[in-house]
Amino acid sequence: MADLVGVYAASHGPLIVRNWDVLPAATRNTLTAAFTELGRRINAVRPDVLIVISPDHWVNFFLDNLPSICIGVGDTHAGPPEPWLAAYPHKQMAGHAALAQHIAAYACHHEFEPSVSYKLALDHGFCIPLWKANIDPLPPIVPVILNTVEPPYPSPARCFAFGETLAAAVKSFPAPLRVALLATGGLSHSIGEPTMGEIDEAFDRECLQLLASGHCDENSDALMKFLDARLPTAGNGAAETRNWLAAHSAASAARTGGTGSFDLIHYSAMPEIYVGCGVASWTL
């Protein structure tokens, strides 16, 4: 039986890489410290496989074919196609086809019908956190694309339910794998809109407080009600907070002995990278 041994989340703003050399030294130091700690925590649990939940930024899909959920089931995944990520060290990344196909099949038998792809390119949403966290060695990746770039989006309730399904699918996998999960994206930000560059720090901090308030049904309902009401007002990029919600519910489903908590590694509003930038983990 596989075990979910760690759950994590991190922002993935492109300017973390594109503008790295011109960012203020204090910003670079803050980001380096946060991602280094994220990598330390992931490396410490020694994952055999890493599930990564991220949107697809028009690399694999477009308006003519836009799945709500797509699971990468290939043996390998291509590295990021963005030219400003040319220095990313992995041109190809190993997949874990057996676990990915198991997750897809399990989801289909438990009220989800995800799309699958045997050939995905993993863009900055996947690769910036992997790179900045210096995960070494990089384990095989099971990429999960959750549509958070173009409406209609899956509702917060569906994202929460999908996280629970992911955790159950991992638990039911027959091989003794150590599996970690990383959600990327968010928090509040606006891209390509008249409000581009604005950050809703109040949204971010209330969301983080609700994540930290526990896993019980009452708190989860409050979190989903908050996201239903506030996601549309926190910038179009805030839709990616759904990925954090899926991670939160997966951690809740996987925790044992009645323990477990949300641990915020770092948050700050960073207009210099256009993102309310958060890095976090859940103890199981």
Q: What is the tens place of the pLDDT at every residue in 70-97?
A: 999 999 999 999 999 999 999 999 999 9
Q: Using CA atoms, how far apart are residues 104 and 8, in angstroms rounded to an integer?
A: 21
Q: Let me know: does 121 contact 80? Beta carbons within 8 Å.
A: yes
Question: Within 13 Å and on the Cβ side, how many CA atoms surround 213?
Answer: 15
Rounded CA separation 193/198 (Å): 10
- What is the chain's mean pLDDT, rounded? 92
Give CA–CA dist 205/276, Å, rounded: 9
> Domain segments of the chain: what residues?
3-283
- Quote the distance between the C-alpha of residue 186 and its chain's center: 9
**Residue 255, CA distances (Å) to 39, 72, 163, 204 in order:** 21, 26, 13, 25
Q: Kindly tell me if the per-residue pLDDT of 195 is higher than 90.
A: no
Is the pLDDT score of 247 beyond 50? yes
User: Alpha-carbon distance 172 to 101, whole Å?
Assistant: 13
Give the per-residue pLDDT at 192: 74
Please state, in angstroms and rounded to a whole number, the distance separating the CA atoms of residues 63 and 266: 35
Residues in the chain: 284
Model pLDDT, residue 258: 47
pLDDT digits (tens, 9 = 90+) for 10-67: 999 999 999 999 999 999 999 999 999 999 999 999 999 999 999 999 889 999 999 9
Give the mean pLDDT of 248-264.
Answer: 79
Which among 39, 81, 30, 89 has a CA at the least distance from the CA of 59?
Answer: 81
Short-list 147, 149, 211, 188, CA closest to 277: 188
Q: Which distant-in-sequence residues (6+ apart) come within 8 Å of 234 by Cβ? A: 187, 188, 200, 203, 204, 241
Cβ neighbourhood burial of 21 (10 Å; 0-12, 13-18, 19+): exposed
Q: What's the pLDDT score for residue 217?
A: 52
- Is residue 215's pLDDT more than 90? no
pLDDT in tens, 136-172: 899 999 999 999 999 999 999 999 999 999 999 999 9
For residue 78, the model assigns a pLDDT of 96
Q: Is residue 242 over pLDDT 90?
A: yes
236-248 average pLDDT score: 92
What is the fold of 3-283? Protocatechuate 4,5-dioxygenase; Chain B (3.40.830)
Of 237, 232, 283, 280, nearest in space to 35 by CA: 280
pLDDT the model gives residue 214? 66
